[in-house]
Amino acid sequence: MLKNDLILRNPLRLMQSDETEDTLEKGGFGAVLARAGVGKTALLVQLSLNSMLKGQNVLHISLADPVYKVGLWYEEVFSHIARQYAIKQANDLWETLLPHRFIMTFQVEGFSAAKLEERLTDLTTQNIFSPHMVLIDGLPFDASVRTALEDLKALAGKFGCHIWFTVRTHRHESTNPNDMLQQLASVADLFEVVIQLQPEGKDIYVNALKGRRAASGESALLLDPATMLITDRKWDADSDR
């Protein structure tokens, strides 16, 4: 019951499709765009935890950080969630979530769809782990990325999962949403959802540049700089009462 309560209260539900309980369907691609240090990894971890609460398996791939550091991200984000929602027996809940997470690390130069498929095949054929969601944190979106993404798209379809990527932007670049999408112009057709984390003053807005946009009257989604948790204006107002 606690898991269902957390899912229903989670502001990330506002990014879900009306037709499905997931933001992305099988074989789908999602991207989180932001400058360094704004919260891309924190948002990926919350997407992951939301799926884990539903009993879905998540494969988290880091091309920059070691396994222990990725694990610390999960522990920190979960501890903030536990405090925000006053979860009793948080340790017990945490233990039920861990079997639904698998962390892999690769060197950027050594990462490819072929190598990932080899690792996934080992896991799935031995019934060790079969992911519903894959997170890839740190893939360089350079001029040659399209071929890699096309291979990963085929892989996602083969294994029946969807994939989220982080995309690093830079301070000197335009913050106009249309310009932000230009960074993915050559590969935008491969993505169903694109989310931008945009700092404005003390707030960090979670903007949907492609995919499901907030309907009229829905609360704006924000990333709290203090906790790095997704929240919304309505929840903030209610929690102050």
What distance in Å separates the CA atoms of residue 119 and residue 153, rounded to the nearest whole number? 16
Domain ranges of the chain: 23-239
- Nearest-5° Cα angle at 71, 113 to 62: 25
Q: Are the CB atoms for 80 and 30 separated by under 8 Å?
A: no
Task: List pLDDT tens digits, range 199-238.
Answer: 988 889 998 888 865 443 455 789 998 898 988 754 444 4
Q: Is 126 helix (H, G, I), strand (E, B) or coil?
A: coil
What distance in Å separates the CA atoms of residue 164 and residue 93, rounded to the nearest whole number? 25
What distance in Å separates the CA atoms of residue 175 and residue 146, rounded to the nearest whole number? 23
pTM recorded for the entire structure: 0.88
- Nearest-5° Cα angle at 150, 149 to 154: 115
Dihedral (C-alpha) 121, 124, 129, 135: value to the nearest 10 degrees?
A: 40
Task: List pLDDT tens digits, range 148-188.
Answer: 999 999 999 999 999 999 998 876 555 555 555 666 878 98
Question: CATH code for 23-239?
Answer: 3.40.50.300
Q: Are the CB atoms for 233 and 219 separated by under 8 Å?
A: yes
Task: List pLDDT tens digits, range 51-92.
Answer: 999 999 999 999 999 999 999 999 999 999 999 888 888 999
Beta bridge partner(s), residue 139 = none
Q: Are the CB atoms for 62 and 105 separated by under 8 Å?
A: yes
Q: Give the number of other Cβ atoms within 10 Å of residue 4's Cβ.
A: 10
